[in-house]
Each structure stands twice: as C-alpha cells, then as structure tokens.
C-alpha cells in the first residue's frame, strides 16, 4: 500500500506546529487514519518514517488511545454512549435494538462491512442524551424510531454511493 500523496504533506504541515516532531505523532495518526480508514502496521511504519521518530513511539500511541483503530472498522462506526447520563435516558434499549436489527454485538462488524458497533464513554453531549456518534456527526435525543430512521438513511446513502461508483465504472 503506497501512502496517498498528500499524507506526507499533511503530516509535515502538522509537524510545523511543534518544536518537537514527536508531538506530531498523534496528529499524524489522525491524518493517516482519515486517509486509510484504520492503522495497519504498514501505515504506522510509514508515519514513523515520515516524522523520523522511533516506531515504538508510534505503536504505543496507536494502541493507547481509543480513537485509533489498528483493525478495520465498518463504513459507519456506530459509537453509542453508554455512560451514566445516556444510560439514565435509555441507551441500553438502543444497544439491544441495534444488536437485534444488525445481528452484531459490541466490537463486531456486519458481514457487508457497513456497520461496526461500539459503546463509548461519555461523548460530552449529555444535554441530548442518549447520543451516538457516527463518523464526524453526533446524533442526539435518540429513541428506537429515530435510530431506525438513521440506520435506514445510512444504508440508503451507502447504496447510492455504491450505485454511483458502478455508474462511473461502466
């Protein structure tokens, strides 16, 4: 896998913000993960080489922080908060519903690669509990109906994207 051409440039721009290149490992991993979807060993080595830092420094961060994924995740990563405020507002029922509807448990991905399910600690949006993060977006004040509507919309979005790719390929 060759790194996308702009990964090096983006990482260098991040590194310029710090007096020490080691500080740029975290931003570099975020950049790499956005481009690759997750952080396999080869990408970690690439990041270490670009920054000129010890590989172990990169590995230890990739495995310490919860937002870094060394294994592939689905196209939509359903990150349901189950901390106290969300639990008090019904997150358990939402989790059970997702598990039933998608047929996966926590930490698993659907066979079509569309959804990965995780529970996460407080997302810092308790005023709209229960909350789930999917990609960059927060979805708050969820109930079963809103959750179903969201899953339907994400499926349709993925279907439309797949359709567009097929059309482009013809």
* E strand or H helix that includes residue 117: strand 115-120
Phi, psi for residue 103 in degrees, rounded to 5: 70, 30
d(CA 139, CA 150): 9
Select 19 or 169, whichever has its Cβ closest to another protein.
19
Name the DSSP letter for residue 4: P
d(CA 40, CA 29): 11
Is residue 59 a contact point for another protein (CB under 8 A)? no
The 79-118 site mask, x for binding another protein (CB under 8 A), equals ---xxxx-xxx-----------------------------
Select 124 or 163, whichever has its Cβ closest to another protein.
124
Name the DSSP letter for residue 66: T
d(CA 96, CA 94): 5
Q: How far is the CB of 138 from another protein (least distance, A)?
A: 8
Of the candidates 6, 49, 121, 157, which one interacts with another protein according to CB under 8 A? 121
Q: Which residue has the tokens 């399910």?
A: 117
Q: How far is the CB of 102 from another protein (least distance, A)?
A: 22
Is residue 26 a contact point for another protein (CB under 8 A)? yes
Binding stretches for another protein (CB under 8 A):
17, 19-20, 22-27, 29-30, 53, 57, 60-61, 64-68, 82-85, 87-89, 121-129, 133, 136-138
């Amino acid at each position: 896998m060759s790194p996308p051409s702009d990964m090096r440039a983006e990482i260098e721009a991040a590194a310029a913000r710090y007096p020490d290149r080691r500080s740029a490992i975290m931003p570099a991993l975020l950049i790499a993960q956005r481009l690759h979807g997750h952080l396999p060993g080869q990408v970690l080595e690439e990041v270490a080489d670009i920054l000129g830092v010890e590989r172990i420094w990169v590995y230890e961060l990739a495995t310490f922080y919860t937002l870094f994924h060394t294994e592939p995740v689905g196209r939509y990563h359903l990150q349901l908060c189950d901390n106290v405020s969300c639990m008090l507002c019904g997150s358990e029922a939402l989790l059970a519903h997702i598990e039933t509807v998608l047929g996966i448990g926590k930490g698993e991905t659907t066979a079509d690669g569309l959804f990965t399910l995780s529970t996460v600690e407080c997302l810092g949006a308790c005023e709209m509990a229960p909350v789930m993060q999917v990609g960059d977006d927060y979805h708050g004040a969820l109930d079963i109906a809103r959750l179903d509507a969201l899953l339907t919309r994400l499926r349709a979005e993925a279907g439309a994207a797949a359709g567009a790719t097929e059309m482009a390929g013809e």
